[in-house]
């Protein structure tokens, strides 16, 4: 970390540019990159050009930029790919085949829901999430599960920051959210309707390790009008229990904290994990 008052190093500027994509937005124009990275336009233009030449970023025909193939290949070697995502994918694929709804897997990271993997169908409700992206905990099914089972001090610290409204039914009152999270713990699942985006509902359940601690959350996202808990919950809980067994077995094979492995992993730049309905 640079000393106070000293300008950032070249490495720091490059990291700020790459981190701009972690804030959301698969494609960014040069002005957006520089604004997010806090860099002058001329500096950003030069460094972005070098990153494009090296394959770490790609420039698409409309003039915007996205994560490049070279950076994705490096990121794909992170433990998260061979850890939680690898364990989860077979169960997520089975869950999609049983429901034909969007399937998402998330862990808590820096007070937000970090999406480790997702599967979506061609006729499923549109998703705001992307692999390696984050969404607020209080607006999503996975987020409410992660927040409900988080240590009390972590939960209260997040509530103290304020609850931003994202849709008409977003819960913004801390007291109401506390009551909602208590229901999540009592019922074993979280349900959201029109809380992150209008027309979308999600059901989330916990994924546990061999000690019973919640390390991740699995969810189905569907249209609000078709969010029938009697249809969605049985296959979702079955998949989560199966994944929890695999996670427990993974823990027995070595002291690896899967939730800590699941850092941001960029999606392949030219493909989206998308299934036909």
CA angle 209, 211, 216 (to 5 degrees): 30
pLDDT digits (tens, 9 = 90+) for 136-194: 888 889 999 999 999 988 888 888 888 888 878 888 888 898 999 999 999 999 999 88
Among the listed residues 59, 64, 114, the one whose alpha carbon sits nearest the alpha carbon of residue 84: 114
pLDDT digits (tens, 9 = 90+) for 200-224: 889 999 999 888 999 999 999 888 7
Residues 222 and 188 in one domain: yes
Residues 49 and 91 in one domain: no
Determine the distance from the C-alpha atom of residue 165 to the mean position of all C-alpha atoms in its chain, rounded to a whole number.
19
Residues 210 and 195 in one domain: yes
Residues 172 and 207 in one domain: yes
Q: How many domains is the chain partitioned into structurally?
A: 2
Local structure of 72: helix, strand or coil: helix
Residues 32 and 121 in one domain: no
Residues 266 and 156 in one domain: yes
Kindly report the backbone phi and psi dihedral angles of residue 25, in degrees, each rounded to the nearest multiple of 5, phi listed first.
Answer: 110, 100
What residues contact 243, with CB distance under 8 A and at least 6 apart? 87, 88, 91, 207, 218
Structure tokens at 152: 């009390």
Residues 126 and 30 in one domain: no
What range defines the domain where residue 30 resides?
Answer: 10-74
Whether 4 is covered by a domain: the verdict is no
pLDDT digits (tens, 9 = 90+) for 40-67: 999 999 999 999 999 889 999 999 998 8
Strands 214-223 and 274-275: unpaired
To the nearest 10 degrees (0 to 180), the angle between helices 152-160 and 174-187 is: 150
What residues contact 135, with CB distance under 8 A and at least 6 apart? 112, 113, 115, 128, 129, 143, 196
Residues 54 and 155 in one domain: no
pTM beyond 0.75, yes or no? no
Rounded distance, CA 219 to CA 59, Å? Answer: 33
CATH of the domain at 160: 3.30.450.40
Residues 64 and 141 in one domain: no
Residues 141 and 243 in one domain: yes
Residues 207 and 253 in one domain: yes
- Whether the Cβ atoms of residue 124 and residue 20 lie closer than 8 Å to each other: no
């Amino acid at each position: 970390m640079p000393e106070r008052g000293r300008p950032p190093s070249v490495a720091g500027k490059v990291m700020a540019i790459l981190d701009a994509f972690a804030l959301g937005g698969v494609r960014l124009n040069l002005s957006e990159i520089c604004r997010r990275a806090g860099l002058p336009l001329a500096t950003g233009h030069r460094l972005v050009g070098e990153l494009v030449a090296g394959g770490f970023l790609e420039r698409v025909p409309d003039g915007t930029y996205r994560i490049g193939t070279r950076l994705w290949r490096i990121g794909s070697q992170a433990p998260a790919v061979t850890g939680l995502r690898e364990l989860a994918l077979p169960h997520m694929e089975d869950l999609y085949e049983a429901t034909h709804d969007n399937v998402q897997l998330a862990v808590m990271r820096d007070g937000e829901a970090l999406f480790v993997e997702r599967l979506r169908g061609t006729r499923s409700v549109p998703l705001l999430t992307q692999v390696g992206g984050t969404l607020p905990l209080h607006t999503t099914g996975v987020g409410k599960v992660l927040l409900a089972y988080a240590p009390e001090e972590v939960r209260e610290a997040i509530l103290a920051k304020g609850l931003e409204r994202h849709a008409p039914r977003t819960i913004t009152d801390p007291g109401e959210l506390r009551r909602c999270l208590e229901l999540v713990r009592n019922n074993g699942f979280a349900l959201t309707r029109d809380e992150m985006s209008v027309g979308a509902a999600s059901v989330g359940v916990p994924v546990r390790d061999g000690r019973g601690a919640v390390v991740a959350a699995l969810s189905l996202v569907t249209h609000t009008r078709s969010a029938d808990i009697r249809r969605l919950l049985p296959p979702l809980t079955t998949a989560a229990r199966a994944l929890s067994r695999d996670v427990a077995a993974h823990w027995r094979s070595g002291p690896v904290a899967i939730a800590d492995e699941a850092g941001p992993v960029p999606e392949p730049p030219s493909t989206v994990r998308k299934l036909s309905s």
